[in-house]
Amino acid sequence: MTAPVSPPSPYSAAAKQSNVEAHTLSVLVDNEPGVLARVVGLFSGRAYNIESLTVAEVVHGEHLSRITIRTVGAPETIEQIRHQLERLVPVRKVTDLTIGGRSLERELAMVKVRGRGDDRTDALQLADAFRARVVDATTESFIFELTGKPEKIDEFVDLMRPIGLVEVSRTGVAAISRGPEPI
Amino acid sequence: MSKEMSGAEMVVEALKDHGVDTLFGYPGGAVLPIYDALFQQETVRHILVRHEQGAAHAAEGYARSSGKVGALLVTSGPGATNTVTGLTDALMDSIPVVCITGQVPTHLIGSDAFQECDTVGITRHCTKHNYLVRSIDELCRVLHEAFYVASTGRPGPVVIDIPKDVQFARGRYSPPHNVHHKTYHPQLDADMALIRKAVAMMASAKRPIFYTGGGVINSGPAASTLLRELVKLTGFPITSTLMGLGAYPSSGEHWLGMLGMHGTFEANNAMHDCDLMIAMGARFDDRITGRLDAFSPGSKKIHVDIDPSSINKNVKVDLGIVGDCGHVLEAMVRLWRSEAMHAEQPPLGEWRKQIDGWRARKSLAFRNSTTTIKPQYAVQRLHELTKGRDVYVTTEVGQHQMWAAQHFHFEQPNRWMTSGGLGTMGYGLPAAIGVQLAHPQALVIDIAGEASILMCIQELSTAIQYRLPVKVFILNNEYMGMVRQWQELLHGGRYSHSYSEALPDFVKLAEAFGAKGLRCYEPKDLDSAIQEMLDYDGPVLFDCVVEKSENCFPMIPSGKAHNDMLLADLSDDAGVDLGAIIDERGKMLV
């Protein structure tokens, strides 16, 4: 069946995402019950993407939590996500840390690798190059702890795969803007 | 000023303090303490509905016609889930509603107790905000906050879920005073520099148009007055969404009629060909824009909206102004008057002439009949015979709704209550009940379809109980007309399940409820039958038997642009294959 020749419909026009970009959003929220469900529900309800998400209370006395979300979408979509997040009543502030490019992003990973003989030496040498620490060891396994940008962790995990990667646990991205000012 | 009382008493106190004189509700196990507190006072009048969905729509009708917050009270579990459609409706149309739901006692939450459901989880997506009150110490704050959140900024529904033990618990209540929310601060005043820029753009526009929506109505009657003033000062033509009808009078000199899928030829063509569009409290919904990449291609666009997320959501605009329509209109009127910005305003004569050309096409015209009642004719007669009266109109959803929007003309805001965003069949009758309670002396008419009306027909019983003389004017074509129309246009006339089989006898049905039933078959009897309905002091079900195959035109077919409309007489021509006009991809759209 050949595709009908026709003008694009409102929906297909809207779905066309020309230049998809990854952005990191910092969302400051009141840590009240259900706030995470509101944020996550907004993403699923409006068909936005979540690449990674981290959340923790950062100022205990004020019940202030910081949610860091990595998302992908066209710039208009990212802008829309920001506005939609700002509509949520317990949200204090939303900052797009990718705009301006002056932010630090870090993720922590724990990587379990199994192997004997030369594989162990290879694993340790690579871990050293990546500044990964050994946090657990047996005669046939290591667990490495590694911090860095998500891409660095991806690389390390790819290198461990042929050696004997067992499993990976990652925290997701935490991010903060550079310089003396808060977001 | 704080007083000690039970949680249930706090709820009633807060309702009083927030000016709630009418509460729609249905009792049940988890709200008994609140019902007990209601029993012992006379300030808040409780209206017993017959289904919780009815309570939500009635609260909407009350809110939309009065500008106040609508309130409802329902029990846990099914009581709460039954409100979901009404809450979603209020969210889509930005209607301020506070819904109080009972919940099982705190210690039973999560145990799958009798009539337990995760109310805040279920309603999270269909409310502006919601609360589960975990302790009596939070209740007073939450109650005041809920009214604040519901009624400020872009209005919307708020749910307060109150466990039964919290209703019994005793705590301190203090009246509301300047609620200052920690995180919620809607922006009302717009940036003056942006307004100045907008006015400058307006002053040099050659083919301008105002495109206004429900935001102007929500801003309050003053915004409508200011809009009229601005239209008069500028002389710009104006069109409105379904939600915005009445903000500018339909008898006004610059009125183009409604725009969008079933809007007028002149409104849609003017939107397409304008060089400056001033969108005011409207949200570029897909029923308005049609094909997005062909939407008003040559224009600069200004968008005024209280919700920043509405700006650039569907259509990219040149100037976005975040603020309350009323504030922005006030500033625009002031600037236009005081500054000589408009001194060099280009003449609009050519533009008006072009518009008059489109208007001459008479896109709302239809072929009348002497043997069957045409639905458009029925709405026209209803409008004609109610002129000069204090009239409010609600509708259900479908063809009759569009005919009502096209042929019942509104002169004032807050007179037209219809489910715009969600398109809820069953909205009209309970909404009419809410309107009648807010305006006891007014004439309230629900223009309905025979299919829609059956969705909330049980509320006729409510109307009887409280002696609410609402008039239900059913355009009975024995079809879910809009579904049938789309099946005719797009699905080869295969009328799959859109015939209203086994309809009740509406006259007998009315009588069974204790209302008056009327039926009319012939155009010559219509006026006297309508008059009989209007003269009757009580609720009426009017079964207006209309032409079955009538389609609602004009129409922008799916996937088409504003200047690509189907008009009535074209579609009446034998040999025109409507299915061929709408292309394959258009058929994919709803």
pLDDT per position as a tens digit, B93-124: 999 999 999 999 999 999 999 999 999 999 99
- Beta-sheet pairing, A21-30 with A91-96: antiparallel
CB atoms closer than 10 angstroms to residue B467: 11
- The per-residue pLDDT for B345 is 83
Q: What is the CA radius of gyration of chain A?
A: 21
Both tokens of residue B165? 């033990």
Query: Is omega for the bond preceding B33 within 30 degrees of 0, making it cis?
Result: no
Rounded Cα gap, residues B455 and B499, in angstroms:
15
- The per-residue pLDDT for B559 is 80
The angle formed by the CA atoms of residues B344, B350 and B355, to the nearest 5 degrees, is 125
Alpha carbon of B19: minimum distance to chain A alpha carbons (Å): 23
Rounded Cα gap, residues B107 and B332, in angstroms:
56
- The per-residue pLDDT for B119 is 98
Query: Which uninterrupted H or E stretch holds B332?
Result: helix B325-338
pLDDT band at A10 (very low <50, low <70, confident <90, very high): very low
Tokens 């002439």, residue located: B353
**Which of B183, B291, B308 is opposite residue A10, by nearest beta carbon?**
B291
Percent with pLDDT over 90 in chain B = 90
Chain B, nearest residue to A94 by Cα: B183
Query: Is B291 within 8 Å of A8 when comparing Cβ atoms?
Result: yes
- The per-residue pLDDT for B583 is 64
- The per-residue pLDDT for A66 is 97
- The per-residue pLDDT for B243 is 98
Query: Is B583 within 8 Å of A7 when comparing Cβ atoms?
Result: yes
CB of A8 within 8 Å of any CB in chain B?
Answer: yes
Both tokens of residue B61? 């009708």
DSSP B505-521: -HHHHHHHHTSEEEEE-
**Which of B293, B309, B316 is opposite residue A8, by nearest beta carbon?**
B293
Rounded Cα gap, residues B138 and B505, in angstroms:
51
Between residues B583 and B533, which one has the greater pLDDT? Answer: B533
Query: Is A6 within 8 Å of B584 when comparing Cβ atoms?
Result: yes
CA A87 to centroid of chain Cα atoms: 22
Tell me if A168 sits within 8 A of A111, measured CB to CB: yes
* DSSP three-state, residue B579: helix
Query: Is A87 within 8 Å of B588 when comparing Cβ atoms?
Result: no
Rounded Cα gap, residues B213 and B239, in angstroms:
9
Rounded Cα gap, residues B52 and B24, in angstroms:
9
Q: For chain A, how many helices (H) and strands (E)?
A: 5, 9
- Considering only CB atoms, which chain B residues are within 8 Å of A88? 129
Instruction: Tell me the HSE value of B74 on the side-chain side, using a 13 A CA sphere.
Output: 28
- Beta-sheet pairing, B157-163 with A174-177: unpaired
Judged by average pLDDT, the poorest of B113-127, B193-207, B431-445, B546-560 is B546-560
Q: Is the pLDDT of residue B450 over 90?
A: yes
- The per-residue pLDDT for B557 is 85
Query: Is B291 within 8 Å of A7 when comparing Cβ atoms?
Result: yes
Query: Is A6 within 8 Å of B313 when comparing Cβ atoms?
Result: no
Across the range B538-567, mean pLDDT stands at 93
B588 catalytic? Reply is no
Residue pLDDT, tens place only, B500-511 = 999 999 999 999
Tell me if A160 sits within 8 A of A171, measured CB to CB: no
Among B498, B545, B492, which Cα is nearest to B520's? B545
Alpha carbon dihedral B286, B288, B294, B299, in 10-degree steps, equals -130
Alpha carbon of B2: minimum distance to chain A alpha carbons (Å): 25
Across the range B584-589, mean pLDDT stands at 63
Alpha carbon of A169: minimum distance to chain B alpha carbons (Å): 29
B482 catalytic? Reply is yes
- Considering only CB atoms, which chain B residues are within 8 Å of A38? 124
A 37-56 → B contacts, CB under 8 A: 37-38, 41, 45
- Considering only CB atoms, which chain B residues are within 8 Å of A94? none
- Total-model pTM: 0.94
Judged by average pLDDT, the poorest of B37-46, B105-114, B334-343, B369-378 is B334-343
Residue pLDDT, tens place only, B348-360 = 999 999 999 999 9
**Which of B183, B307, B308 is opposite residue A90, by nearest beta carbon?**
B183
Mutation choice for A interface testing from B92, B585, B587, B588 by most A CBs within 10 A = B585
Residue pLDDT, tens place only, B52-91 = 999 999 999 999 999 999 999 999 999 999 999 999 999 9
Tokens 């309050």, residue located: B220
Alpha carbon of A55: minimum distance to chain B alpha carbons (Å): 18
State ipTM: 0.89
Within 8 A by CB and 6+ apart from B348, the residues are B206, B207, B208, B235, B236
Mean pLDDT of chain B: 95
B52 catalytic? Reply is yes
- The per-residue pLDDT for A3 is 46
Report the greatest alpha carbon distance in chain B: 77
Chain A, nearest residue to B587 by Cα: A9
- The per-residue pLDDT for A11 is 35
- Residue from B5, B13, B24, B52 carrying the catalytic annotation: B52
* Alpha helix stretches (DSSP H) within B274-324: 286-289
- Residue from B201, B243, B425, B482 carrying the catalytic annotation: B482
- Considering only CB atoms, which chain B residues are within 8 Å of A13? 291-293
Mutation choice for A interface testing from B88, B184, B261 by most A CBs within 10 A = B184
- The per-residue pLDDT for B579 is 54
Chain A, nearest residue to B558 by Cα: A9
pLDDT band at A183 (very low <50, low <70, confident <90, very high): confident
Rounded Cα gap, residues B94 and B84, in angstroms:
15
**Which of B121, B183, B289 is opposite residue A92, by nearest beta carbon?**
B183
Rounded Cα gap, residues B159 and B124, in angstroms:
9
**Which of A37, A41, A89 is opposite residue B129, by nearest beta carbon?**
A89
Both tokens of residue A138? 């047996």
Rounded Cα gap, residues A133 and A110, in angstroms:
9
Q: What is the CA radius of gyration of chain B?
A: 24
Q: Is the pLDDT of residue B590 over 80?
A: no
- The per-residue pLDDT for B93 is 98
Among B307, B335, B301, which Cα is nearest to B209's? B301
B164 catalytic? Reply is yes
B125 phi/psi in degrees, rounded to 5: -85, -10
pLDDT band at B585 (very low <50, low <70, confident <90, very high): low
Chain B, nearest residue to A45 by Cα: B125
Query: Is B589 within 8 Å of A10 when comparing Cβ atoms?
Result: yes
Within 8 A by CB and 6+ apart from A5, the residues are none
pLDDT band at A100 (very low <50, low <70, confident <90, very high): confident
- The per-residue pLDDT for B346 is 87
* Alpha helix stretches (DSSP H) within B106-220: 119-123, 136-151, 164-168, 192-203, 214-218
Alpha carbon of B353: minimum distance to chain A alpha carbons (Å): 31
Q: Is the pLDDT of residue B572 over 60?
A: no
Strand partners, A71: A23
- Considering only CB atoms, which chain B residues are within 8 Å of A79? 312
- The per-residue pLDDT for B341 is 66
Rounded Cα gap, residues B110 and B225, in angstroms:
51
Across the range B262-273, mean pLDDT stands at 97
Rounded Cα gap, residues B213 and B284, in angstroms:
9
- The per-residue pLDDT for B580 is 57
Query: Is B309 within 8 Å of A34 when comparing Cβ atoms?
Result: no
A–B interface: beta-carbon pairs under 8 A? 81
**Which of A6, A37, A89 is opposite residue B583, by nearest beta carbon?**
A6
Residue ranges of chain B whose CB lies within 8 Å of a chain A CB: 120-121, 124-125, 128-129, 132, 134, 149, 181-184, 286, 289-294, 307-309, 311-314, 316, 558-560, 583-586, 588-589
Query: Is B120 within 8 Å of A45 when comparing Cβ atoms?
Result: no
- Considering only CB atoms, which chain B residues are within 8 Å of A91? 183
Across the range B280-296, mean pLDDT stands at 93
Query: Is A9 within 8 Å of B184 when comparing Cβ atoms?
Result: no
- The per-residue pLDDT for B117 is 98
Residue pLDDT, tens place only, B136-190 = 999 999 999 999 999 999 999 999 999 999 999 999 999 998 778 889 999 999 9
pLDDT band at A6 (very low <50, low <70, confident <90, very high): very low
pLDDT band at B215 (very low <50, low <70, confident <90, very high): very high
Tell me if B214 sits within 8 A of B93, measured CB to CB: yes
- Residue from B41, B114, B384, B465 carrying the catalytic annotation: B114
Rounded Cα gap, residues B305 and A50, in angstroms:
28
Percent with pLDDT over 70 in chain B = 96
Across the range B371-389, mean pLDDT stands at 97
Mutation choice for A interface testing from B132, B292, B322, B564 by most A CBs within 10 A = B292
Rounded Cα gap, residues B463 and B513, in angstroms:
9
Rounded Cα gap, residues B258 and B363, in angstroms:
12
